[in-house]
Every structure is written in C-alpha cells, then in structure tokens.
Amino acid sequence: MDINKDGGVSENEYLAFVWGELGERDSKKGFKQTDTNGDGKLSLEEYENSPHGYQSHGNSKMQMLKAKGEKADFTEFFAKVDKNSDQFIDLDEYLVADAEWLTKADSNGDGQCSSAEWMHFRKINHVIDANEDTFTEENFAKLDKDSNGELTPLEYHKGMQQMAADMMANGYRL
C-alpha cells in the first residue's frame, strides 16, 4: 500500500489499494458470469455476450447495429485482450483488460494520475463511450479539485461519482 515508500500509508494510498482490490474482485465475478460453460476461459462467443465486449464498441454503435438487426464484430478487441493468441481469454488476461480505470491510467505507478496519463489512457481504454465523454482535458480539470495537475484516488472517485450523478440528473439513461 505504501506507494511512495515513506514508511506510512496515506488516505490516498489506502484508497488506491482498496479500489484496486474491489475492482479485481468485481472483475473476477464478471469473468465467472461470462464464462458460461465454466471452463475457466472465454471463447469469442462468450466474450461477445459480455459487458466488456459491449463496451469495446460503445453504446452508440451497439444500438445502431441492434436497430439494423446486425451483429457486431468483436474479433479485433478480443485479439487485443487475448495476449497469448490462443483464441481464448483467460482470467489473467481479463483482469488486465478490466482493471479499475485509475489504476490503469496511472502508468508510472505513483498512485495518482497526471493530465498526460489521463489523455494517454483515453487512447488505450476499451470503453469507447467513456473515451469520448469522460477522458477529456475539461473533465480532468473538473476532477483535479486542488488544481495541482494530479488526480488522487479520492479526487478521481468522488469526482466520477459526481459526474455520474450529474449525468443522471440531466436525463441520461442506459
């Protein structure tokens, strides 16, 4: 938990650890639910029916395809997650792809996210809709409450909760 190795654990270091652990727990649960045949790995067909797969295309595209009666092609993103190219996604591959966003965005591992890391994550995040309306410079500035150019876990999670509440108040529906 002691990310900066100062001999103590700050509130933000503790929160980064807890949210990482909770995210992994939720990812494992999601993997198990998606693995419908219980063989410990996801086939392309299982992946196509997962929330993770859905997010790889984004809500707008998925709704458009549904309206046209067409099926989405998941092979490209499936291949990105299937790191060993064995035509299956195992739990370890899934956990890497499904890690909590702040953990993934924090590319230097210092427990917080800079504006540069935030904007880079926009390019690699699998959730298309989030990349379009969440990972912007404007939202980074809103979340960075102390304006120091770094998002702490507390700023990030409280800010994301507020952004979600604001979207729901403005009539956003899934």
Stretch 66-72: mean pLDDT: 91
The contacts of residue 131 (CB under 8 Å, 6+ apart) are 122, 123, 125
pLDDT tens string 105-163 = 888 888 889 999 999 988 877 767 676 778 889 989 999 999 999 998 888 888 877 87
Instruction: Indicate if the pLDDT at residue 172 is higher than 70.
Output: no
Instruction: Indicate if the pLDDT at residue 27 is higher than 70.
Output: yes
Of 56-60, 66-70, 144-148, the one with minimum mean pLDDT is 56-60
pLDDT tens string 71-107 = 889 898 899 889 999 999 999 888 877 776 777 888 8
Stretch 26-52: mean pLDDT: 90
**pLDDT value for 173:** 52
pTM score: 0.66
Of 5-14, 45-54, 108-117, 161-170, the one with minimum mean pLDDT is 161-170
Calculate the CA dihedral of residues 107, 105, 20, 142 and round it to 10 degrees. Answer: 130
**pLDDT value for 104:** 81
Give CA–CA dist 38/30, Å, rounded. 13
Instruction: Indicate if the pLDDT at residue 70 is higher than 60.
Output: yes
Highest average pLDDT, of 40-44, 59-63, 127-131, 159-163, comes from: 40-44
Structural domains in the chain, sorted by start: 11-99 (1.10.238.10), 103-174 (1.10.238.10)
* Helix 11-34 vs helix 153-169: crossing angle, to nearest 10: 60
Residue 141's H or E segment, with its range, is helix 137-143
Give CA–CA dist 74/87, Å, rounded. 12
